Amino acid sequence: MQTNSHLSVLIHEQAKKYGSKTALTFRSFGSLKWKNVSWNQFSMRVKEVSNALLNLGMKPQETIAVFAQNCIQYLYTDFGAYGVRVISIPFYATSSEQQIQYMIQNASVRFLFAGEQEQYDKAHRVAALCPTLERIIVFDPSVRISSHDPNSIYFEDFLKLGEGLPREPEVEERWAEANDEDICNILYTSGTTGESKGVLLTYRMYRAALEANGKCVAVNENDRIINFLPFTHVFERGWSYLALSEGAQMIVNTYPKEIQQSMRETHPTCMSAVPRFWEKVFVAVKERMDNSSAVQRKLFYHALGVGRKRNVQYLARGRRVPLALEMEYKVVNRTILSLVRKQLGLEHPNIFPTAGAYVSPEVEEFVHSIGLNMIVGYGLTESLATVSCDRLGEPYTIGSVGRPIDSIEIKISDTGEVMLKGPTITPGYFRRETTNAESFDKDGFFHTGDAGYLKDGELFLKERIKDLFKTSNGKYVAPQMVEGMLLVDKFIEQVSVIADQRKFVSALIVPEYSVLEEWAKENHIGFKDREDLCRNRQVNAMMRERIDTLQQRLAPYEQIKRFTLLPHHFSMESGELTNTLKLKRSVVNRRYQDVIDKMYEE
């Protein structure tokens, strides 16, 4: 049963309830061994952080920031800050020096908690430019603190300031003073179109979000939740707090690239993810099957067909499964589909919330067909994650983003924009009065920038309004939909669709080099380097054929007519991707202007 108390005391309330039961499973920095932390231990560390912050003179609604990958210290720090009414601001661990300098200055951050060497080094280099920043506190004890840095300390030494809970009576006074109108977090958006904005998240928003999500998301105290997305991401943050409020065990995965290995080692029952994770699973499973024997391939695709019929054609539509089909499913599930899930470390799956980008219907069907409950949803930082989601036991449509959560009111504007109102919607952006005035209509509905419609109680998205491309022929093209169709191919790693004010649709494509290079060798295609491989006529002909197959369902004006294979990835370092790995189209278009123009030459 959910404990929906104020976040300042949530961990302590759960400790009273669950005591020595495991709350967190984690690996120390640089370690391969998984360890456990009980709810009692979690509560004590949070109290020590709260006491330490008071000993450093933190006042209510002053700001700290956390600049780290996911780790248990991150959770201790956040909840310790909530306990003394201090605002915690998460920074992406991949943020640049320029970005963190802006956020520290914009929010007047006093103390910055840094994760590992990379984060500490960046923070140390900008510290002199940030007059409000008093101290850097380092989570990883192996970090080398500069000899010219007398103000930075390790987290272990910071905790000693709260050892024995010397300020506990004052901490309890802060608990009593805590209210729902306080700011809990300021989350800076990743900024695909310009300078990031600090979204205000209040305790009232969290309370409403936990209550509404608790009613429709089937997570409970028996679940084991693994983190894949960073706590900086509102989706993971909201989902993790929901899991903690339900008493679930949290598996803290520090390094996203190790997620599949971590899953196999820890056997989670739930995980929130972005569609790209499942696209890669889909491609990997399909490739493994295509390379297996004819008999194995036939058995797998038969099992997949049975899974699709039961889980998508019947259960998804709220129809009763025929007895014969149910019996057949039990056989293929036990003998074949369970093996696929076991390869992922998902022997006892519950639910897998998925949001953050366009979900390919082909991938969504596949995940359901192998017996995993993918809960597709939609949300924004400004709505504290969930606006809508699929609900177990209720009909859902492949391609929708689910049903609105109870607390939210959705209005579709005259222009087709999804507009939101309710207790989970942000009061505004930090120190952005002009932007705030423009973000809400006269009735108090928030402009999402997303086009969509409601049908039979479900929300369907069309595209980001500002991302819709209009060709020079006056046709509208939704780039993310086209990109999503291509990303299910094992030869394609990244795509940027080009169409705005152009005669036809084109694309910049980054191949999955390991697969492409293997294919080239099998087909006796010699190449000196990746540039040479991307220019090869046979390679381009093969890619053309695959792209044409993938986009058969598109209208002719939406189809990619020309493409260019790129010999290197889009990256955050080059400014082409945001911290959430979304394309910065303006940067990509500017950087590859010559390449793009060449595709439109007669």
pLDDT single digits (tens) 41-80:
999 999 999 999 999 999 999 999 999 999 999 999 999 9
Exposed, middle or buried, 257 (CB in 10 Å: 0-12/13-18/19+)? exposed
For β-strands 373-380 and 385-389, DSSP reports them as antiparallel
E strands along 221-380, which residues? 224-226, 249-251, 270-271, 351-354, 373-380
Tokens representing 154? 């390790």
Q: What is the pLDDT of residue 171?
A: 97
Tokens representing 319? 């129809």
What is the Cα–Cα distance from 384 to 209, expressed in whole angstroms? Answer: 7
pLDDT at 579 over 70: yes
Among the listed residues 466, 469, 465, the one whose alpha carbon sits nearest the alpha carbon of residue 451? 465
What is the Cα–Cα distance from 522 to 335, expressed in whole angstroms? Answer: 33
Count other C-beta atoms under 10 Å from residue 506's C-beta. Answer: 21
Count other C-beta atoms under 10 Å from residue 258's C-beta. Answer: 13
pLDDT single digits (tens) 325-378:
999 999 999 999 999 999 999 999 999 999 887 788 899 999 999 999 999 999
pLDDT single digits (tens) 435-491:
899 999 999 999 998 889 999 999 998 876 666 676 776 766 888 888 888 999 999
pLDDT at 547 over 80: yes
pLDDT single digits (tens) 236-250:
999 999 999 999 999
pLDDT at 380 over 70: yes
Q: What is the pLDDT of residue 191?
A: 55
| All domains in the chain, ordered by first residue | 10-178 (3.40.50.12780), 468-599 (3.30.300.30)
Alpha carbon 6 to its chain centroid, in Å, reads: 25
What 3 state SS string does 30-54 have? CCCCEEEEEHHHHHHHHHHHHHHHH
pLDDT at 193 over 50: no
Alpha carbon 570 to its chain centroid, in Å, reads: 19
Among the listed residues 251, 173, 202, 11, the one whose alpha carbon sits nearest the alpha carbon of residue 88? 202
Asked if 200 contacts 428 with a C-beta cutoff of 8 angstroms, the reply is yes
Q: Angle at Cα 578 formed by Cα 573 and Cα 579, nearest 5°?
A: 85
Tell me the three state secondary structure of residue 270: strand
Taking residues 392-398, report their average pLDDT: 90
